[in-house]
Chain A
Amino acid sequence: MEFFRSTNIDWLSKKWYLLAFSLIFSIGGVLSMLFWHGIPKGVDFTGGTQVTVHFDTTPNEDHIRSAMDTAKVRDARIQRISGAAGASSSNVIISLPMSSAQDTQHDQGRAEVESALTANYHDSHFEVEQVDIVGPTAGKQLVSQAQLAVLYSLLGMLAYLWFRFELIYGVAAVAAVFHDTLITIGAFSLTNQEISLTVVAALLTLIGYSMNDTIVVFDRIRENLADNRREPLADVVNRAINQTLSRTVLTSGLTFLTVLCLYLFGGEVLHGFSFALVIGILIGTYSSIAVAAPMLVAYQNWRASKGKSASLPAAKPTAPRPTTR
Chain B
Amino acid sequence: MGKNLTTKTWAILAILLVFLYGIFGIPHGGWKKSITDRIHLGLDLRGGTHLVLQVQVQEAIGSSTDRDMTALNTALAATGATATKLDPKVHPEVITINEPDSSKLSAVSTIVNDNAYASYEKQSNASGYTMTLTQAAQRDLADRTVETSIETIRQRIDSLGVSEPVIEKYGLGDNQILVQLPGVDDPARVENIIQSTAKLEIHEVVSGSPYPDAAQALTAVGGSLPPDEEIIMGSGSGAGPDQAWVLKRASIVEGTDFRGATAQQDENGRPDIGFTLTTEAGDRFYKYTDANKGTGSMAIVLENKVREVATIQSAIRDQGRITGGFSQQQADDLSLMLRTGSLPASIKYLETRTVGPSLGAASIHQGVMAAVAGLVAVLVFMLIYYKGAGINADLALLLNLVILLGFMGFTGATLTLPGIAGVILTIGMGVDSNVLIFERIREELRLGKTSAQAIQDGFDHAWKTIFDTHVTTIVSAGILFIFGTGPIKGFAVTLVFGLAANLFTAVFVSRVIFDYLLEKRGRTAPLSI
Please give me the residue from chain A that is nearest to B357 by CB atom: A129
Binds B, one of A64-72, A248-256, A289-297: A248-256
- Picked from A129, A204, A205, A216, the residue with its CB within 8 Å of the CB of B465 is A216
Given A128-B356, A250-B435, residue A208 in contact with residue B348 (CB < 8 A): no
> Which chain A residues border B187 with CB–CB below 8 Å?
107, 131
Q: Is B472 within 8 A of A160, CB to CB?
A: yes
> Binary interface profile of B, 463-496, with partner A (CB < 8 Å = 1, else 0)?
1110111011101111110011111100100010
Q: Does B508 contact A (CB under 8 A)?
A: yes
Q: Does A79 contact B (CB under 8 A)?
A: no
Q: Does A267 contact B (CB under 8 A)?
A: yes
Q: Does B375 contact A (CB under 8 A)?
A: yes
Q: Does A185 contact B (CB under 8 A)?
A: no
> Which chain A residues border B432 with CB–CB below 8 Å?
212, 216, 247, 251, 255
Docked complex: A212-256 residues within 8 A CB-CB of B: 212, 215-216, 219-220, 223, 243-244, 246-247, 250-251, 254-255
A153 CB to closest chain B CB, in angstroms? Answer: 4
> Binary interface profile of A, 151-162, with partner B (CB < 8 Å = 1, else 0)?
011101100110
Given A156-B476, A197-B487, A258-B427, residue A322 in contact with residue B367 (CB < 8 A): no
Q: Is A135 within 8 A of B349, CB to CB?
A: yes
Please give me the residue from chain B that is nearest to A91 by CB atom: B359
Query: A243 to B507, alpha carbons, bound, how many Å?
Result: 21
Main secondary structure of the interface of B (DSSP, over half): helix
> Which chain B residues border A117 with CB–CB below 8 Å?
none
Q: Does B354 contact A (CB under 8 A)?
A: yes
Q: Does A269 contact B (CB under 8 A)?
A: yes
> Which chain A residues border B459 with CB–CB below 8 Å?
322, 324
Q: Is A322 within 8 A of B350, CB to CB?
A: no
Q: Is A204 within 8 A of B476, CB to CB?
A: yes
Q: Is B475 within 8 A of A322, CB to CB?
A: no
Q: Is A208 within 8 A of B370, CB to CB?
A: no
Q: Is B374 within 8 A of A261, CB to CB?
A: yes
Q: Is B484 within 8 A of A149, CB to CB?
A: yes
> Which chain A residues border B469 with CB–CB below 8 Å?
211-212, 215-216
Query: A322 to B505, alpha carbons, bound, how many Å?
Result: 12
Query: A131 to B421, alpha carbons, bound, how many Å?
Result: 22
Query: A246 to B487, alpha carbons, bound, how many Å?
Result: 34
A31 CB to closest chain B CB, in angstroms? Answer: 29
A60 CB to closest chain B CB, in angstroms? Answer: 22
A44 CB to closest chain B CB, in angstroms? Answer: 9
Q: Is B487 within 8 A of A198, CB to CB?
A: yes
Query: A141 to B488, alpha carbons, bound, how many Å?
Result: 14
Please give me the residue from chain A that is nearest to B514 by CB atom: A324
Query: A111 to B442, alpha carbons, bound, how many Å?
Result: 64
Q: Is A134 within 8 A of B351, CB to CB?
A: yes
Number of interface residues of A (CB under 8 A): 80
Q: Does B22 contact A (CB under 8 A)?
A: no
Q: Is A197 within 8 A of B363, CB to CB?
A: no
Docked complex: B408-448 residues within 8 A CB-CB of A: 417-418, 421-422, 424-425, 427-429, 431-432, 435-436, 439, 442-443
Q: Does A10 contact B (CB under 8 A)?
A: no
Q: Does B44 contact A (CB under 8 A)?
A: yes
Q: Which among B363, B472, B485 has the highest number of chain A CB atoms within 10 Å?
A: B472
Q: Does B373 contact A (CB under 8 A)?
A: yes
Query: A111 to B354, alpha carbons, bound, how many Å?
Result: 13
Q: Does A94 contact B (CB under 8 A)?
A: no
Given A134-B351, A138-B350, A201-B491, residue A107 in contact with residue B417 (CB < 8 A): no
Q: Is B373 within 8 A of A219, CB to CB?
A: no
Q: Which among B486, B487, B511 has the highest number of chain A CB atoms within 10 Å?
A: B487
Query: A115 to B378, alpha carbons, bound, how many Å?
Result: 48
Q: Does B362 contact A (CB under 8 A)?
A: yes
- Picked from B417, B431, B491, the residue with its CB within 8 Å of the CB of A255 is B431
Q: Is A131 within 8 A of B473, CB to CB?
A: no
A111 CB to closest chain B CB, in angstroms? Answer: 8
Binds B, one of A14-22, A33-41, A303-311, A313-321: A313-321
Q: Does A262 contact B (CB under 8 A)?
A: yes
Query: A131 to B367, alpha carbons, bound, how many Å?
Result: 20
A312 CB to closest chain B CB, in angstroms? Answer: 17
Q: Does B54 contact A (CB under 8 A)?
A: yes
> Which chain A residues border B473 with CB–CB below 8 Å?
208, 211-212
> Which chain A residues border B359 with CB–CB below 8 Å?
52, 54, 129-130, 269
Q: Is B44 within 8 A of A269, CB to CB?
A: yes
A80 CB to closest chain B CB, in angstroms? Answer: 16
Q: Is A208 within 8 A of B472, CB to CB?
A: yes
> Which chain A residues border B356 with CB–CB below 8 Å?
127-130
Q: Does B121 contact A (CB under 8 A)?
A: no
| A-B pairs with beta carbons under 8 Å apart, 24 shown | A54-B359, A107-B349, A129-B358, A130-B353, A133-B349, A137-B348, A141-B174, A149-B479, A153-B476, A153-B479, A156-B478, A157-B476, A197-B488, A211-B473, A215-B468, A219-B465, A247-B432, A255-B428, A258-B377, A262-B370, A270-B370, A321-B460, A322-B459, A322-B507
Q: Please list the residues of chain A having a beta carbon within 8 angstroms of any beta carbon in chain B.
A: 1-2, 52, 54, 84, 103, 106-107, 111, 127-135, 137-138, 141-142, 145-146, 148-149, 152-154, 156-157, 160-161, 164, 197-198, 200-202, 204-205, 207-209, 211-212, 215-216, 219-220, 223, 243-244, 246-247, 250-251, 254-255, 257-259, 261-262, 264-267, 269-270, 273-274, 277, 318-324
Given A254-B377, A269-B366; 19 other pairs, CB 8 A cutoff = A1-B387, A107-B187, A130-B356, A130-B359, A131-B354, A137-B350, A153-B480, A160-B471, A201-B491, A215-B468, A215-B469, A223-B461, A250-B439, A251-B436, A254-B428, A254-B431, A255-B425, A266-B367, A319-B468
